[in-house]
């Protein structure tokens, strides 16, 4: 009997034994939903897709114009450098200084990544190996778990929704686990739960990192999307942070450049050097016109970032208002692109995957089931506020119809 990871290459029974690291990966929990979403669209159904944090807004026209200009220069079509062109790395350090008061060396403390997800994954490969352990926040963004696993490391998931308790659990784990965890991953504003913290959280985290000798990787992907006056603190703004860790940022969210795949790793020079070494073997760097456009974006388009954040706040309010009218109890997020909503009774009894499938099948609304982010996510849905307000209102109506039909069925 053939295992899932053994692929036949011909009819004579020859199989391809894939690597153990691939066999360790579990079945993709979003697979059923993605398959149904595809089938719906092929059938002509207008699916309102709130399942992925994929911005629908275009970048500022100035960014696109600069990209177009850079494309016309034949020199920009050659291989680039793996760690990013110098002027781009300097612009990253300038933005860190202006926004967070953090001084960084562009030559030794910044490296350009092909999106923060690629950078995070390769950082795990640079830092971890068999027997090493990483603490990751739970509910967990999948790459935080599986990048560690692909690097042959072990994962300990700790519930992050009460940040003070999360810190206590880190300390407890370090006291009782041998060997101690090598890496602690943090992700605030958190995906998927939208949990946020203040700077004092990082002060304590740096203290623990020094005490227990673990490295910190901060995934700061949603730094630019904040609401109601809240400002997400940077890990690197904490005294001593660059001695123990790095921070990943991205232009996908605030600059609406998701498909451009550009992000950065900044902080501890040895960790940055390790990532640069890995990237030197794996890629030739990001397409240079994208890097040139990113310089213009950070230098001249900060107002557009503020405008995008304001747009997401309006969408959040429209969507949450609508769900609350349907009887959902909503914790309005202070940051990020997601509403993390507890499924109301009696629908919660279905389980998050089946309820998400029901919303897609009967209502044409795609969402992410909380179970897809680990056991701590069960009973919740993650819904991305990436569509415009009108589409979000329509999504609420269609969700309401599904819930109403279920009530009618139950009455009968």
Q: Assess whether pLDDT exceeds 70 at residue 271.
A: yes
List the beta bridge partners of residue 84.
none
Phi, psi of 72 (to 5 degrees): -80, -10
- DSSP character at residue 349: G
Cα 286 from Cα 84, distance rounded (Å): 7
302-341, pLDDT tens digit by residue?
999 999 999 999 999 999 999 999 999 999 999 999 999 9
| Per-chain mean pLDDT for the chain | 94
Please state, for a pLDDT cut of 90, what percent of the chain lies above it: 88
Q: Assess whether pLDDT exceeds 80 at residue 406.
A: no
41-85, pLDDT tens digit by residue?
999 999 999 999 999 999 999 999 999 999 999 999 999 988 999
Q: Given pLDDT bands bounded at 50, 70 and 90, which one contains residue 242?
A: very high
346-381, pLDDT tens digit by residue?
999 999 999 999 999 999 999 999 999 999 999 999
3-class DSSP state of 210? helix
| pLDDT for residue 31 | 78
Cα 392 from Cα 385, distance rounded (Å): 7
Q: Given pLDDT bands bounded at 50, 70 and 90, which one contains residue 411?
A: very low
Cα separation values, 75 from 45, 65, 67, 188, Å:
45, 18, 14, 39
Closest CA to 218 of 268, 259, 284, 156: 268
Residues in contact with 332: Cβ distance below 8 Å, sequence separation at least 6, in sequence order: 227, 316, 317, 320, 339
| pLDDT for residue 192 | 97
**Contact at 8 Å (CB) between 319 and 387?**
no
Q: Where are the domains of the chain?
A: 24-58+303-405, 61-300
Sequence-separated contacts (24+) of 26-31 with Cβ below 8 Å: 29/353, 29/369, 29/371, 29/372, 30/368, 30/369, 30/372
| pLDDT for residue 4 | 43
Place of tokens 């967070």: 100
Q: Given pLDDT bands bounded at 50, 70 and 90, which one contains residue 27?
A: confident
Closest CA to 296 of 56, 67, 110: 67
Q: 24-58+303-405: which CATH topology?
A: 3.90.1150
SS (H, E, C) 342-378: ECCCCHHHHCHHHHHHHHHHHHCEECEEHHHHCHHHC
Place of tokens 């612009």: 91
Cα separation values, 14 from 4, 11, 19, 110, 328, Å:
14, 7, 16, 47, 53
Number of H helices, E strands in the chain: 14, 14
Cα 75 from Cα 20, distance rounded (Å): 42
Instruction: Give the distance from CA 285 to its chain's centroid.
Output: 21
First to last CA, the chain: 46
**Contact at 8 Å (CB) between 323 and 339?**
yes
The CATH classification number of 61-300 equals 3.40.640.10
| pLDDT for residue 405 | 76
- Order of strands across the sheet with 338-342? 338-342, 380-384, 368-369
List the beta bridge partners of residue 217.
185, 246
Cα separation values, 118 from 109, 238, 261, 310, Å:
18, 25, 9, 28
| Run of H or E residues at 120 | helix 116-127
The token duo for 345 is 């009774």
Q: Beta strands 380-384 and 368-369: pairing type?
A: antiparallel
Cα 249 from Cα 99, distance rounded (Å): 13
123-166, pLDDT tens digit by residue?
999 999 999 999 999 999 999 999 999 999 999 999 999 999 99
| pLDDT for residue 80 | 93
Cα 392 from Cα 390, distance rounded (Å): 5
Cα 369 from Cα 28, distance rounded (Å): 12
User: What mean pLDDT do residues 105-119 have?
Assistant: 97
Residues in contact with 94: Cβ distance below 8 Å, sequence separation at least 6, in sequence order: 298, 299
The token duo for 144 is 């935080």
List the beta bridge partners of residue 253.
none
């Amino acid at each position: 009997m053939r295992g899932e990871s053994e692929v036949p290459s011909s009819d004579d029974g020859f199989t391809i034994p894939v690597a153990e690291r691939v066999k360790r990966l579990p079945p993709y929990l979003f697979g059923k939903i993605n398959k149904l979403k595809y089938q719906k669209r092929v059938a002509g159904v207008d699916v309102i897709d709130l399942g992925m944090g994929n911005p629908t807004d275009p970048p500022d026209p100035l960014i696109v114009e600069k990209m177009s200009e850079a494309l016309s220069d034949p020199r920009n079509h050659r291989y680039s450098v793996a760690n990013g062109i110098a002027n781009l790395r300097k612009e990253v350090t300038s933005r860190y200084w202006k926004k967070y008061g953090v001084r960084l060396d562009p030559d030794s403390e910044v490296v350009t990544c092909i999106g923060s997800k690629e950078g995070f994954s390769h950082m795990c490969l640079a830092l971890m190996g068999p027997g090493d352990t990483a603490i990751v926040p739970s509910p967990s963004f999948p790459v935080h778990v599986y990048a560690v696993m692909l690097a042959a490391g072990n994962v300990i998931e700790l519930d992050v929704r009460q940040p003070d308790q999360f810190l206590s659990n880190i300390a407890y784990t370090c006291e009782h686990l041998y060997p101690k965890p090598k890496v602690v991953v943090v992700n605030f504003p958190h995906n998927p739960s939208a949990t946020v913290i203040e700077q004092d959280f990082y002060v304590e985290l740096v203290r623990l990192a020094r005490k227990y000798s673990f490295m910190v990787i901060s995934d700061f992907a949603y730094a630019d999307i904040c609401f109601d006056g809240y400002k997400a603190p940077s890990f690197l703004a904490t005294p001593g942070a660059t001695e123990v860790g790095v921070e990943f940022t991205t232009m996908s969210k605030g600059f609406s450049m998701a498909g451009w795949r550009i992000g950065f790793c900044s902080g501890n020079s040895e960790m940055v050097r390790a990532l640069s070494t890995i990237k030197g073997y794996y890629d030739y760097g990001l397409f240079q016109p994208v890097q040139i456009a990113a310089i213009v974006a950070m230098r001249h388009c900060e107002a557009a970032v503020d405008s995008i954040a304001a747009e997401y706040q309006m969408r959040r309010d429209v969507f949450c208002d609508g769900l609350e009218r349907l009887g959902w109890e909503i914790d309005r997020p202070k940051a990020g692109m997601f509403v993390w909503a507890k499924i109301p009774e009696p629908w919660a009894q279905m389980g998050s995957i089946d309820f998400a499938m029901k919303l897609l099948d009967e209502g044409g609304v795609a969402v992410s089931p909380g179970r897809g982010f680990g056991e701590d996510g069960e009973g919740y849905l993650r819904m991305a506020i990436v569509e415009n307000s009108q589409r979000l209102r329509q999504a609420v109506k269609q969700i309401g119809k599904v819930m109403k039909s279920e009530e009618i069925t139950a009455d009968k």
